[in-house]
Structure 1
Amino acid sequence: MTPPKPTPRPDKVSLLGYMRLFRRDILSAQPARLYRAWMAAFRTPFFRSYLCNDPALIRRVLQDRPADFPKSQRITEGLAPLLGRSVFVTNGEEWLRQRRIIDPAFEGGRMRAAFPAILAAGQAAVARLPQGEVEIEAAASHAAADVIFRTLFSLPIEDRVAQAVFDEFRTYQRTQPILNLAAFLPLPAWMPRLHRRATRTSAATIRRLIGQMTEARAAAIAAGTAPDDLASRIMTTPDPVTGSRFGTGEMVDQVAIFFLAGHETSASALSWALYLLASHPAAQDRVAVEAAGMTEDFASLATLRFTRDVFREALRLYPPVPMMVRETTQAEEMRGQAVAKGAQIVLSPWHLHRHERLWANPDGFDPDRWQTEAGRASARDAYLPFSSGPRVCPGAGFAMLEGTLLLALMLRAFRFEVVEGRVPVPVAHLTVRGKDGIWLKVSRRANP
């Protein structure tokens, strides 16, 4: 069974048409030829944009010369109400300092330390999941938010403030398009960015609640009573170059992106993985058998090889962040074309992961591809669910652990089936979600 694709669009769309489509749904605006092209240009009256699927160009931008291709502020300005000056939006020395403080929290044995919290969140998700026809994105969002609060602040989702942040974030997700008007127009720095009132209100509420949690944690650190979790590690880690630490305001910015990246993206990937397994019962049974032998300790993750490959394949077909945008700081030559300074360089996991020249059966669900040499070769050239190079997501290993474990726990306890007449259509909001949700029929396994 082939997963659904966005409705194909004509190869030529007017600028006004693209603006409307991008604002409503960036995926449905993409013409079929872009799944074959190595590079494509998109022109507006104010700037030029280049979609790059050529692996050599992607390596140049993300790995070989990343400082020459900083994140485009045209895109990140749309997230400013929530993320402030978080590590997701900054560039240059500001970004380097932030990564020097954040990265140690995700290194070495930190995954083993986080395992009990992720396991507890997964067990709670299994206990909470109803039977019958279930909108699985809501359940996955609840589970992923629980993981974030347990690992970041040692709080279950049932905590009053944690629950309030989660509820408000769901409101924010529905109001925030993936692109702001600033993505198309050359607005000066002093001009308001025309964010929707609901978006600004939700972002302010989330930041206020996160601020309360951060201030409470700072007080606990000062009193010597803080738990050893991600928040404590990050807030007590000095920059090895300057010796400075994150202040409360800076920490609010970082927690906001941890929640966005660690909750929103994980919920998206988990939802699509469950849908894919519901659509492919034989693969689902393999995961269930594998999960039945799991012993619920960190070492047992090594036994979940097929489950991990299912999660990888879900990230390939439905990458939570479908597009990344960089900007040229100098003139470039790309595939024989002159690219001017200030051009937008679009790196699109959505296109790259389904590229007809880079993957066998690009639109098909095939978890076994990850154990073949051809699949591994394709992944080296054309797999970017967590970006690549110096700006690779610091929580990539964390996300793979979480996704694999939650899938195993859910499939050990439940069987998932598709609901007739409810085929989810992928659309991009903050991440790739189902247009009207992802509905599955959930029933308990006879011998979990």
Structure 2
Amino acid sequence: MDATPAPFVPPAPKPRTSPPSTLEMMRIVYRNPLELWGEPSYNQPWISVSGFGGPLVVANDPGLIRHILVDNVKNYRMSTVRQKVLRPILRDGLLTAEGDTWKRSRKAMAPVFTPRHIFGFAQPMLKRTQDFADRYVSGTTVDLARDMTTLTYDILAETLFSGEIAAPPGTFEAQIDRLFETMGRVDPLDLLRAPDWLPRITRIRGRKTMAYFRGIVADTIALREEHLAKDPGSAPQDFLTLLLRAEGPDGLTRGEVEDNIITFIGAGHETTARALGWTIYCLAESPWEREKIEEEIASVLARESDPVKWLDAMPLTRAAFEEAMRLYPPAPSINREPVEEDRYGDLVLRKGATVLVMPWTVHRHRKLWDKPDAFMPSRFHPGRRDAIDRYQYLPFGAGPRICIGASFAMQEAVIALAVLLSRFRFDTVAETRPWPVQKLTTQPEGGLPMKVTARV
């Protein structure tokens, strides 16, 4: 019997062996924050330092993470730097809102993301993925990163907006890339906590793109309001209608409605798109893992046509997706700030400190994972998944602010993988040299060029 091949170790920055200078750190944070972290970040339970931006704590210990995100969550708000990056894009959307504004938005959206509603999305997810797969021509090379953005946007538009997003066809992918390239970066002035009246180059460069997305939102709302006015009974009872009906004196303001729409149009699909791309890339570099998943998918599709049941019926496929999210967490940084001084054991978390819960470092931590840099879906296989501490694996966050769309994303991912991998095999080519870069999400710099071959 052949020995099992050594697991694939996908590309990632090597931990730094010495701290950067202040100027170098600002350059790294602007270019790619994933390259900032040194050996202690991957070996210590936490790091507490004082930098030019004030006190900084990097939390890796699962108990400390639980303390921050769950047990003492009321003492933590979004960090100032994070808000300076995201609020110009999302304003009072669900990802950036706090206090009563966040509670109103979460309550308004909750009905859409119940299990019953999510199961109802399975067939539209399947149809959109099948239609998307029909575009592929065997033997061609595609940029899978760009394609997964298109696919997940199509699914989002169909499920949450009933296909009624007023976006010109063929323009969305380039605009979303532009948005993350400009406004998705940390501006050096934000690190210095400079006053807001000082102009940020990143914001200036992104104004045109931001106007594009705000225009989509205004046109989308106008289309739906016209539909509701003409025939309220025939209007789709989807995410968009729910938000509009939540508007009022005791509900959401018009600004909050718009901000939540742009949050989901601009970012709601992005995390799943990146995770799907990284999953297919890692499987292409691990053909022995891909073969197991192809067999599982073929077996399930032969006996089960209902996509609602695929998530539970395809544990190996799900495990590959979860492992890709471990290595390339869609949201690589969760940023908090203590409202009042806090303690955890002998660690003091000072008022106003920047507290980073970094899925990027937690997911690759030497004390928490065996072979942490390797692609090993088996760690998420049945019988092993339960051994992973809840707070050492955070692809969707944790606590009250856990991603509201986590179940939506998991169902979407397994359906997409089942369709794509049953019909095609994706292989790397000479130009496939992705490098993980943090621009809000963990993106493959250089894209994911891959050859598409029909499976017979």
The TM-score range, normalised by the shorter chain, is over 0.9
2:69 aligned partner: 62
Question: What count of residue pairs does the alignment treat as equivalent?
Answer: 442
Q: Is the 8 A contact 2:46 2:58 kept in 1?
A: yes
2:4 aligned partner: none
Of 195-204 and 406-415, deviating more is: 195-204
1:213 aligned partner: 220
Q: Distance in 1 between matches of 2:236 and 2:174?
A: 25
Q: Distance in 2 between matches of 1:175 and 1:46?
A: 22
The answer to whether 1:23 aligns with 2:23 is no
Q: TM-score, normalised by structure 2?
A: 0.91
Q: Is the 8 A contact 1:291 1:304 kept in 2?
A: yes
1:235 aligned partner: 244
Of 306-315 and 422-431, deviating more is: 422-431
The answer to whether 1:195 aligns with 2:205 is no
Which residue identity lines up with residue 163 of structure 2 in the other structure?
Answer: L
Q: Distance in 2 between matches of 1:103 and 1:305?
A: 27
Which residue identity lines up with residue 8 of structure 1 in the other structure?
Answer: P
1:143 aligned partner: 151
1:264 aligned partner: 270
Deviations 1:316-344 (A, max 9, x none): 11101111110011112244233321001
How do 1:361-380 and structure 2 match up within 5 A?
361-371=371-381, 375-380=385-390
SS of residue paired to 1:244: coil
Q: Unaligned regions of 5+ residues in structure 1, if any?
A: none
Question: Which of 163, 174, 177 pairs up with 2:181?
Answer: 174
Per the TM alignment, residue 28 of structure 1 is displaced from its structure 2 partner at its CA by: 1.2
SS of residue paired to 2:94: coil
2:5 aligned partner: none
Q: Is the 8 A contact 2:279 2:320 kept in 1?
A: yes
Deviations 1:26-75 (A, max 9, x none): 11111122111111134323411110001111001111121211111311
Per the TM alignment, residue 378 of structure 1 is displaced from its structure 2 partner at its CA by: 2.2
Q: Is the 8 A contact 2:145 2:274 kept in 1?
A: yes
How do 1:283-294 and structure 2 match up within 5 A?
283-292=289-298, 293-294=300-301
2:162 aligned partner: 154
Q: TM-score, normalised by structure 1?
A: 0.92
The answer to whether 1:116 aligns with 2:123 is yes
Q: Is the 8 A contact 2:315 2:381 kept in 1?
A: no
Per the TM alignment, residue 198 of structure 1 is displaced from its structure 2 partner at its CA by: 2.6
State the identity %.
31
Q: Distance in 2 between matches of 1:167 and 1:10?
A: 37
Q: Distance in 2 between matches of 1:68 and 1:160?
A: 40
Q: Is the 8 A contact 2:144 2:448 kept in 1?
A: yes
Q: Distance in 2 between matches of 1:255 and 1:265?
A: 16
SS of residue paired to 1:380: coil
Question: Which of 425, 434, 446 pairs up with 2:444?
Answer: 434
The answer to whether 1:402 aligns with 2:409 is no
Q: 1:263 to 1:350 in 2, by over 3 A?
A: same
Per the TM alignment, residue 164 of structure 1 is displaced from its structure 2 partner at its CA by: 4.1
Per the TM alignment, residue 297 of structure 1 is displaced from its structure 2 partner at its CA by: 1.9
Q: Is the 8 A contact 2:85 2:187 kept in 1?
A: yes
Q: Is the 8 A contact 1:137 1:438 kept in 2?
A: yes
Which residue identity lines up with residue 37 of structure 2 in the other structure?
Answer: Q
Q: Distance in 1 between matches of 2:118 and 2:455?
A: 30
1:274 aligned partner: 280
SS of residue paired to 1:27: helix
Q: Unaligned regions of 5+ residues in structure 2, if any?
A: 1-7
Q: Distance in 2 between matches of 1:162 and 1:256?
A: 17
SS of residue paired to 1:70: strand
Q: Distance in 2 between matches of 1:126 and 1:115?
A: 16
1:71 aligned partner: 78
Q: Distance in 2 between matches of 1:163 and 1:174?
A: 19
Q: Is the 8 A contact 2:327 2:364 kept in 1?
A: yes
- RMSD across aligned C-alpha pairs, in angstroms? 2.1
Question: Which of 114, 131, 141 pairs up with 1:133?
Answer: 141
Deviations 1:260-313 (A, max 9, x none): 332111110000000011011122122222222324423431322211111111
Which residue identity lines up with residue 386 of structure 2 in the other structure?
Answer: R
Deviations 1:198-229 (A, max 9, x none): 31210111111111102221332343131122
The answer to whether 1:80 aligns with 2:90 is no
